[in-house]
Amino acid sequence: MSSPVSSPSRVSSPRQAAVSRTDRLTPSVVAAWKAGLGVDASEIVDPMPSANTFTRVEFTSNRDEPLRTVRYGHMLSQSAVYCSLQSPVRIECTAESIKEDPREVLIASVSPIRGESTLWQRGQEYRYAPRDLILVPTLYPFVRATTSIHESAGMFIRLSALGAHRYLAELPRRPSGQDTPLARAAATFLRRFAVETSMTGARVAADTELAVLDLITAALSELTLDDRYRLQDDKLFVKQSAVDLIARRCRDPALTPEMVADELHVSRRHLYRMFEGEEKSPAMLITDGRVEAGRKLLDADARVHIGDVAVASGFRSLATFRNQFKARHGVGPSEYRERRRG
């Protein structure tokens, strides 16, 4: 079993120590981070009590001060999603910890904010810029270090979930950060999926999780330059990803099919092609999601004004909300509420 190459010890120079004084996780920094994630504050669950969620991986400070972290996590059937903000950190998986804990995991993550991180594994050094897709198997010891406040969002995936393609995690990888359509799509979707799922504890359909795992597997194959793997079903991935994205963000009045296509790095035409033969188009799914959100609000609180329900559901006008609600339920929102009271 290979060991990681020599990696720098924790930061201690005067210049870097000065940086550490400005890179602290103050309450205002955490509040600004959470506000910028695009998750409804009312749906955010409590953060996890510890950064060291997986015993094989050790999190320690990369400064001469304690590690500070805010971490959210959620277990799925084949994986776990997480989202965290932490002070400069050193993440290590040692040969000893691998012997003690036989779990085999692929860590897939993205860090969108400033600062680079460096990974040492199997005699190789990998440098990652913001928004790069980072794929690290825990089959081999590794060290990863950051030098500034660091956001990370991603998944811990059981290697068994890769099925016949588990071997991809065992192959040497070329340097990451390649600017390919697949890498960009995987990084963009992975971050959004991990942030929203881990911070809200939302349920995830099995098909959606499998589609995400298929995408990560394809990205891993691209990094290993292996030609035996092909994305199992591009149509399934795009469709399930779009459905999941719409379900999570339909209450955003700015959400359009064009925005969905842009987030998935496909054209609007390609997105609609994935839904050919289906009963509903992406635009109809967005409207359906908003109407359903409005119906739930009507059921939850009889005192809320109909206009406020329309706005909270993502509609730009009360008239549109009324028309779309009536088209789906046979009555307008006011009459629906009266019938519920009766």
Alpha-carbon gap, residue 107 to 95, rounded angstroms: 17
Alpha-carbon gap, residue 240 to 249, rounded angstroms: 14
How is the chain split among helix, strand and coil, in percent rounded to 5?
Answer: 45, 20, 35
pLDDT of residue 176: 60
Mention every residue, 6+ apart, whose C-beta is less than 8 A from residue 144: 90, 91, 92, 117, 118, 119, 120, 136
> What is the SS3 assignment for 250?
coil
- For 221-269, how does the pLDDT look when each residue is reduced to its tens digit (9 = 90+)? 888 866 665 555 556 667 777 887 888 889 999 999 999 888 777 788 8
pTM beyond 0.85:
no
Q: pLDDT-derived band of residue 177, with 50, 70 and 90 as boundaries? A: low
pLDDT of residue 330: 95
Residue 116 has pLDDT above 80, yes or no: no
pLDDT of residue 16: 35
* Average confidence score pLDDT of the chain: 83
- For 195-213, how does the pLDDT look when each residue is reduced to its tens digit (9 = 90+)? 999 999 988 888 788 888 8
